[in-house]
Amino acid sequence: MRDDPQQRHKQKIIAEVEQRSLTSVMNNTKWNSLEEAIYRELAFAPAFQSKYILDAEPSPLEFEQDVFYLGDWESLSFAWYNIEWVRVKPRLLEHTGKYTAPNVLSIEDEWVNLLQRLRIPYIHKEHDYWIYGYATATEYEQLDY
């Protein structure tokens, strides 16, 4: 029997989920539906910060302010099973000139409608939306659909 690194990685994730008493919130079908809808229905793919089960820190580490870049949702699809949470900013900064403040392009209403239509559980905190792959009991109780 051959040693399968991907299977070994999945087993580590399962062990960590059990050790931390996390509840599975999303599945591959929901993640795939969300990714497809983002690219098909929204004016732009919103930027996100992701936290994987086995990683100590999220990426990117700093994500407090609105950003000038889009989210690469396809980069997440290789390992939906590994995502603890994704923090989404459904806004995009647009350069307007060297000496002027950027415009803020918002798709927040469309984003919330998409989440609700697809029945994607989320938590709205200030201007960000948190989608949990796995949640603590406290986070699970706060989820909106």
Domain coordinates of the chain in residue numbers?
Answer: 21-55+62-142
Task: Say if residue 47 is exposed, middle or buried (CB neighbours under 10 Å; 0-12, 13-18, 19+).
Answer: buried
What are the tokens at 63? Answer: 């994500």
Give mean pLDDT, residues 122-127.
93
Helix (H, G, I), strand (E, B) or coil at 136: coil
Q: What is the pLDDT of residues 9-61, one digit of tens each?
A: 889 999 999 999 999 999 999 999 999 999 999 999 999 999 999 999 999 99
> How far apart are alpha carbons 110 and 126 in whole angstroms?
17
**pTM of structure:** 0.90
Q: What angle do CA 81, 86, 87 make, to 5 degrees?
A: 175
| Paired residues of 144 in beta bridges | 122
**Residue-wise pLDDT tens digits, 55-105:** 999 999 999 999 999 999 998 887 888 999 999 999 999 998 889 989 999
The confidence band for 132, taking pLDDT boundaries of 50, 70 and 90, is very high
Q: Is the pLDDT of residue 1 over 60?
A: no
For the record, the structure tokens of 39 come out as: 């690219």
Contact between 130 and 122 (Cβ < 8 Å): yes
